[in-house]
Structure 1
């Protein structure tokens, strides 16, 4: 019996069927990437979410009526150009680069719905929110609260816009080069989704996280108040008077890297110059947060930063202590960390050989106290000065303004969106949530304009990336030389 050769029609049909399966598989694979590790976060509070979802808060009749009555148009004041923005602002251009050619259409925005916790629309200086899912704790609430502060800080200057926001831990939007079928991915422009962090395998648009306006569940105060307390904490215990070891306190159960870090703790057989403590939030709640005051944790000459599920909001608190930050190699970045330089703002630690790496860093710093203090001061100056709240608002302003320039349609208010305003949000809360909202409110419109955003400069970005790699290699060479000298003395 001869082999039957398929007809051209059969081949064509089979080809298109296969192509359909590939596209279906592509859409299916999109789900676990975006949602599989959304809230992989140990929760000490008994539930995975806040008691009231944002949707429930927005559905309140009182809030809607309150916002409906605030219709007076704000005076739009004009200001001369401000001073140049800090260097990390240039990353705004890099985050928006995927949409430079195509622009952003309504279809692109709405394709990010499955990745988002909420949709934010600003029309005529007023904010409207459509919710899709409950976020962890009050992340969505304080993120929106921060955006409302921006609208009050620069009234009439925020353009109409329409965006999706993800409040989870991990980035949602895969970069083209990291997709299994790159040739298919190139046919699609990524969904523009805002988020708190990203990595080389993602294209999320990075934005300041909720904790700048307070993290009520763990009693971390709004940033503008905490900055003052951290400055006072630095003055309370000078660097030379601090313990000559490295300090870390946190939740080790959210990542393998953190659990491995605990092996570097003081033991009968080893002293790796590290003093590591587990933060038990259940006990802290019962004690009234007496052992978790961040301003009281600037008591060691060195602080350790290590990522959790993804990036950690603790980075800014650790860097602010005037102590050199010993930072494990990061996978994730937030909106400011890409401009931190190894050897200048922090000391890089090997993730694969972390215990000896920590010991070498502490020994090196104690042997070179002037240089160690310079690194600690540079890191805290970056955080306490370049990251003061005025600059955080300016970053938000420029990120949203540049994003709005890419929109290829006029934003309109979705039928399911609810109006949000300062009065309605603050009046409907109680306890620490309301306290932090009141403490983080801006004091009326700003009397100056935003800083001047630097233009796109790919060469500067590439130069910075090279400098960071060279600095890490230099530290690695010092470590190898130190180990070789120690081995020869044995």
Structure 2
């Protein structure tokens, strides 16, 4: 009897082993078939499927247990579909929709909450064809996104390659989040200053036309969007942000904060605005040392020298760096704030998309525009007498940039802005007759001179759709929250003003 039981157990084990083996072989066969099927669907050799296991996942974020075993890799395809044609065309087999495999409860940075405020003016009545077309006289180009494809109608040439790299950035967003951008039409202005001023839109002219651009103003309705330089500024030899942010972090390590030059540093073009020209009078002289070192940048001369003296990662050598606007907001803001130096930020009139959640005396030191020379000197004196506190402010500003301005967040901000904007469309999205379909291939592939423009595009190309979903968007700021933010900012600025005025009163014997 016992022998029969043991024999029965052996048969059961053998049966289970054979069944497991068959199931395993069957599962392997199924996996191979599925992989081959997806490779066929995604367009033969144009897509490469590679095995990966996501690494840099936020430990504090709640993610699903479903981890992607494969991701789609989308290289730039610079071979025309028809070999008889010399004109580059857009591949027709890119994925039109691909949901990220990893969901997350990771919260978006606070500056995302301003998206709602930027779009608030059109929430009640939406954007009609008539409303949209009123923005056309100010626009450099129109973008139409329809069924995941991007069409552009250019009206006028923008300065340098601002328009090219702005469009390039939107194309990379479509590559990162295919199928997640709704059909929409937008008009974009590439100039420095806003164009849709509140004073021009009152009774009888409501609502204002929606116009996208790089910065906003408290008295304007322009919709703030990431600027072109995140994908590179080849005319000034400035790398795309992913590459440059790494270089800036490396540059920060070269000179420890306590070993840096104990002065405030600024280098730029003083001729673009009166406030910058006025800044130059704060420079040191034989009679007086204001603790600042200001240098005029000759970009033409620098270009002839191969930009050897203008690498941004080589300029993190002073304890303090000055940010001051140009014609309006300046691209230099993110580079200056990334240096670990305490940023002396001359109070701006304009804002970009990320600065609105930065806090004075936590991320930077505020400077009054009309009293900047005296304010700058006191800030340096204070920092040199309170080195630990000054170093903390500089580090917190830099950490804010590196953490909250990761390119994934830049794309997430673009995604939510366009999704929110698309919901406001009260018109039939149509492609104008003069519009041209564009994709990464039609923009980058014709550039074969090996120059900086193509280099920036190659460096900033989104290779794969994101396997991770966009961060979670918080609810918009309420009116009371906005008032509290502005009040805290004003209190910090007033505290610094009080310290500065007391310092100069003592110096003058008052």
Whether the TM-score (by the shorter chain) exceeds 0.5 is yes
CA contact (8 A) 1:194 1:204 kept: yes
Name the CA distance, whole Å, in 1 between partners of 2:421 and 2:211.
Answer: 11
The alignment status of 1:480 with 2:504, answered yes or no, reads no
* Structure 2 counterpart SS, 1:248: strand
Name the CA distance, whole Å, in 1 between partners of 2:85 and 2:202.
Answer: 50
User: Residue in 1 aligned with 2:141?
Assistant: 118
| TM value normalised by structure 2 | 0.81
- What does 1:230-249 correspond to in 2, within 5 Å? 230-249=248-267
CA contact (8 A) 1:319 1:380 kept: yes
- What does 1:336-415 correspond to in 2, within 5 Å? 336-415=354-433
**Aligned pair partner of 2:301 in 261, 283, 296:** 283
CA contact (8 A) 1:62 1:424 kept: no
User: Residue in 1 aligned with 2:488?
Assistant: 467
CA contact (8 A) 1:197 1:207 kept: yes
Q: 1:368 to 1:250 in 2, by over 3 A?
A: same
Q: Deviations over 1:184-243 (max 9, x none)?
A: 4xx420000000011122110000000000001000000000000000011111110000
Q: 1:96 to 1:64 in 2, by over 3 A?
A: farther
Name the CA distance, whole Å, in 2 between partners of 1:344 and 1:352.
Answer: 23
* Structure 1 counterpart SS, 2:497: helix
Name the CA distance, whole Å, in 1 between partners of 2:173 and 2:255.
Answer: 35
Shift of 1:486: 2.1
CA contact (8 A) 1:245 1:275 kept: yes
* Structure 2 counterpart SS, 1:253: helix
Q: Deviations over 1:391-440 (max 9, x none)?
A: 10110001111111111123121111100001111101241101110011
CA contact (8 A) 1:304 1:326 kept: yes
User: Residue in 1 aligned with 2:81?
Assistant: none
**Aligned pair partner of 2:155 in 132, 136, 141:** 132
**Aligned pair partner of 1:70 in 92, 103, 113:** 92
The alignment status of 1:292 with 2:310, answered yes or no, reads yes
**Aligned pair partner of 2:107 in 75, 79, 84:** 84
Name the CA distance, whole Å, in 1 between partners of 2:427 and 2:484.
Answer: 36
Shift of 1:345: 0.7
Larger Rg: 2
CA contact (8 A) 2:141 2:154 kept: yes
- What does 1:175-324 correspond to in 2, within 5 Å? 175=198, 178-179=199-200, 182-184=202-204, 187-324=205-342
Name the CA distance, whole Å, in 1 between partners of 2:290 and 2:234.
Answer: 35
Most deviating of 275-284 and 478-487 = 478-487
The alignment status of 1:448 with 2:468, answered yes or no, reads yes
Shift of 1:462: 2.2
Q: 1:151 to 1:62 in 2, by over 3 A?
A: farther
Shift of 1:443: 2.4
Name the CA distance, whole Å, in 2 between partners of 1:353 and 1:315.
Answer: 20
- What does 1:422-437 correspond to in 2, within 5 Å? 422-429=440-447, 430=449, 431-437=451-457
Q: 1:63 to 1:263 in 2, by over 3 A?
A: farther
CA contact (8 A) 2:95 2:178 kept: no
CA contact (8 A) 1:122 1:159 kept: yes
Shift of 1:461: 2.3
* Structure 2 counterpart SS, 1:114: helix
Name the CA distance, whole Å, in 2 between partners of 1:305 and 1:62.
Answer: 50
CA contact (8 A) 2:240 2:456 kept: yes
Name the CA distance, whole Å, in 2 between partners of 1:72 and 1:352.
Answer: 54
CA contact (8 A) 1:63 1:425 kept: no
User: Residue in 2 aligned with 1:42?
Assistant: none
- What does 1:3-152 correspond to in 2, within 5 Å? 66-67=89-90, 69-78=91-100, 79-152=102-175
Q: Deviations over 1:244-288 (max 9, x none)?
A: 000000000001110111111110121110000011011111110
* Structure 2 counterpart SS, 1:66: coil
Name the CA distance, whole Å, in 1 between partners of 2:85 and 2:345.
Answer: 47
* Structure 1 counterpart SS, 2:168: helix
Name the CA distance, whole Å, in 2 between partners of 1:233 and 1:76.
Answer: 38
Name the CA distance, whole Å, in 2 between partners of 1:425 and 1:142.
Answer: 10
User: Residue in 1 aligned with 2:3?
Assistant: none
CA contact (8 A) 1:244 1:300 kept: yes
Name the CA distance, whole Å, in 2 between partners of 1:280 and 1:225.
Answer: 24
* Structure 1 counterpart SS, 2:456: helix
Shift of 1:183: 3.7
Unaligned runs of 5+ in 2: 1-83
* Structure 1 counterpart SS, 2:89: helix
Q: After the TM superposition, which segments of 4 or more aligned residues of structure 1 sit over 4 Å from their partners?
A: 61-65
CA contact (8 A) 1:118 1:132 kept: yes
User: Residue in 2 aligned with 1:50?
Assistant: none
CA-based RMSD of the aligned residues comes to: 1.6
Name the CA distance, whole Å, in 2 between partners of 1:204 and 1:182.
Answer: 16
* Structure 1 counterpart SS, 2:481: helix
Shift of 1:448: 0.4
Shift of 1:484: 2.3
